[in-house]
Structure 1
Amino acid sequence: MLPRNINMFKKSSWEHLRIPFSYYLMPVFWFGLSSSTQASVYNIIAVGIILHLFLYPSSNGYNSYYDKDEKSIGGLKNPKKVSVGLYYLSLTFFALALLGALFINIAFFLMVLLYGLVSMAYSHPSVRLKKYPYISWLTAGVFQGAFTLLMCVIGFEPGGLDLLLKTDLLLSSLLTTILLLGSYPLTQVYQHEEDLKRGDITLSLKLGKIGTFYFASIWFLVAGIAFIWYFLRVDHIWAIPWFLGATSPLLVYFLYWFSLVQKDQNLYANHSMAMGMNQVSSTCLNFFFIYYFFAQ
């Protein structure tokens, strides 16, 4: 039975959906589109709306409701106190995502459902994957990376789950996960105090602030090598200088931020610098993958 006086239209609840934050997750969508061969305009638009306006905000709101953060989180510098209305608002957005997915195909619907359930398990207190450093790291890397790219392509094309047998598609999905395995701990580097308060031992907490940057450096290097190898494999050598040029601002920002953190961890491992990293990386990667899609 629903509690009385549920208000899903409070401004604070809508803020916790963090819809603009979907921009940071958009590179996977564009890379998925560049990996697709039979995408229709209708499916491209529909998948983009379902993911970025409904599924991701649903996950954000659900996570915020159970985290009840008092300090900065991704996309919100000063989060307001959450209410039960946010919980039902996040479930409503999830239901809308599922409804929209039904109009695409059953395989896409099932993948949207699984993504949503995993994101709930990530933050719900009965499971709370977030409190396990390595499981949460792998979960975020796989589901926000490889799984999402495959989900996009299955939504774009009519082939269903048979598309998962395409080697090049599986390789491109793996590349997105490698990138996220490096960047994800950086999103936790300013939340150590809040995570400790809740008992969430994140990977960044295990590594320490300086260790988080060294860890990310290794994965970014692996990702760069992997992308170059991929472009050579698919005979898109022309894409390599574009990829290196597009990601160079990301590298410069990361090294600059790392140098500041080495001087003063408490001062510079903060929300503003982390969001700046997200903005630079998503803009650089969005630019490259859009160009890569049209240039093929």
Structure 2
Amino acid sequence: MKLRDTPAALKYSSALTLMRIPFSIYLMPVFWFALSTTAGFDAWRAVAVFGILHLLVYPASNGYNSYYDRDEGSIGGLKKPPQVTRQLMHLVLLFDALAVVLTLLLSPLFATLVALYLLISKAYSYEGIRLKKYPVLSTFVVTFFQGAYTYGMVQVGIGLPVAQVLQTPNVWFALVSTLFLCGSYPLTQIYQHAEDSRRGDRTLSLLLGIKGTYLFAAGSLATGSTLLLWLYVATGQVHSIFIFLVCTAPVVYFFSGWMLRARRNLQEVNYENTMRMNRLSSLCISLAFIMIMFSQLYG
């Protein structure tokens, strides 16, 4: 059956697959981190913010990226992505609209921040701008907006005043989220060097090379972790250090082993291991911040 003869329902089903909603869940550590450093919040607002970001905002960004990349190889969350159709853009615009409308019900400022995030995410892939072609600039934009910016955006969404979001030590915690993204972001590109080169995208991982990518990721994650542990000491949250170190130990173990295996055999630098790293780090770091959050609430 030719693509043009495919029923519309199947086209929308394939388009929804390219929105990669399950993959968006891997971005949830920043959400839990923002909650774990907030003293008191409304649970219903937190649930609403989580749903809007992970079920609408992130999938809309994923879909838009897929629409312009038209990947033929594996991408985050999809080993064999379906063919891109115009129905994908229909869903992207629908998710964008729903996200902005729903955020307006929480607060105009939160809606503005979400709208800006959606615009920036499109500049990353849009062929007329395509920040993805510029390794340093795209890394700064992605790690800032998915890290510190989202950290603050979540706190605004759950009702914190802007002055409180921008005060210390909160801004230092926000910096930690960006440093963590600096560690994980190039790892998501490490197996795509051939396809990125074919499209003319000069990603950070391509610029650094395989070995450089691992070293950059290790350095960023170590710096972020060191700053976080220092902040826990400075704010009298020594118990949080123990929780964080125990929960993230599996991530350190897997990453170290993967890096060593890759030095001996480049076949280890593949989609499967990248997704294992992504999945493990997301779940373990999220667990750490969830436990820290509950220890703060019911300590």
TM range (shorter): over 0.9
Partner residue, 2:191: 190
1:13-54 residue CA offsets vs partner (Å, 9 max, x unmatched): 010000001221001111111122342122111101100100
Q: Return 5+ residue gaps in structure 1 as ranges.
A: none
Matches within 5 A, 1:66-105: 66-105=68-107
Describe the superposition over 1:137-171 as per-residue Cα deviations: whole angstroms up to 9, x where unpaired: 11111011100010000000152x33333212211
Q: Which amino acid aligns with 1:241?
A: F
- Structure 1 residues 194 and 154, CA gap change in structure 2 (3 angstroms): same
Aligned to 1:274: 274
Q: CA separation in 2, counterparts of 1:210 and 1:31?
A: 29
Query: CA, structure 1 residues 6+121, in 2 after alignment: closer, same or farther (shift >3 Å)?
Result: farther
Q: Which residue of 2 aligns with 1:165?
A: 166
Partner of 1:238, secondary structure, is: helix
Q: How does 1:135-214 map to 2 (within 5 A)?
A: 135-159=137-161, 161-214=162-215
CA contact 2:132–2:203 (8 Å) conserved in 1: yes
Structure 1 match to 2:289: 289
The one-letter amino acid of 1:291's match is: M
Among 112, 115, 123, the alignment partner of 2:114 is 112
How many angstroms apart in 2 are the aligned matches of 1:23 and 1:242? 22
Q: Which one-letter code corresponds to 1:179 in the other structure?
A: F
Q: Deviations over 1:272-296 (max 9, x none)?
A: 0000001110111111000000001
Q: Deviations over 1:38-88 (max 9, x none)?
A: 421221111011001000000000000000000000010001110011012
Q: TM-score, normalised by structure 1?
A: 0.95
Letter in 2 for 1:199: G
> Where in structure 2 are the equivalents of 1:10-49 lying within 5 Å?
10-49=12-51
Q: Confirm or deny: 8 A CA contact 2:104 2:111 kept in the other structure.
A: yes
Larger displacement relative to structure 2 (59-68 or 164-173): 164-173
Report if the CA contact (8 A) 1:6-1:85 is conserved: no
**Partners of 2:160 and 2:268 in 1: CA distance:** 47
Superposed CA deviations along residues 69-125 of structure 1, whole A, max 9, x for unmatched, are 000000100011100110121111011100110001011001100100000000000
Q: Secondary structure at the match of 2:56?
A: helix
Q: Distance in 2 between matches of 1:23 and 1:218?
A: 25
Name the amino acid aligned to 1:217: A
> Whole-Å Cα distance in 2 between the matches of residues 270 and 194 of structure 1?
13
Amino acid in the other structure paired with 2:218: S
The alpha-carbon deviation at position 7 of structure 1 amounts to: 4.5
- 6-15 or 134-143, which deviates more: 6-15
What corresponds to 1:253 in structure 2?
254
Q: What are the Cα deviations for residues 210-240 of structure 1, in whole angstroms up to 9, with x where unaligned?
A: 1110111111211121111110111101111
Find the aligned partners of 1:6 and 1:135 in 2 and give their Cα distance: 41
Counterpart contact for 1:62–1:87, Cα < 8 Å: yes
Q: Are 1:128 and 2:130 an aligned pair?
A: yes
Letter paired with 2:122: M
Query: In structure 2, what is the Cα distance between the partners aligned to 1:165 and 1:203?
Result: 29
Kept after mapping to 2: 8 A contact 1:74/1:187: yes
SS at match of 1:55: helix
Between the aligned residues of both structures, percent identity stands at 42
The alpha carbon displacement at 1:11 in A equals 1.8
CA distance in 1, matches of 2:8, 2:125: 22
Amino acid at match of 1:151: M
Runs of 4+ aligned structure 1 residues displaced above 3 Å come to: 5-9
Secondary structure of residue in 2 paired with 1:216 = helix
Relative distance call for 1:86 and 1:6 in structure 2 (3 A) is farther
**Residue 217, structure 1, aligned to residue 218, structure 2:** yes
Contact 1:154 1:163 in 2 (8 A): no
- The secondary structure found in structure 1 opposite 2:41 is coil
In structure 1, what is the equivalent of residue 3 of structure 2?
Answer: none
The alignment's C-alpha RMSD in Å is 1.4
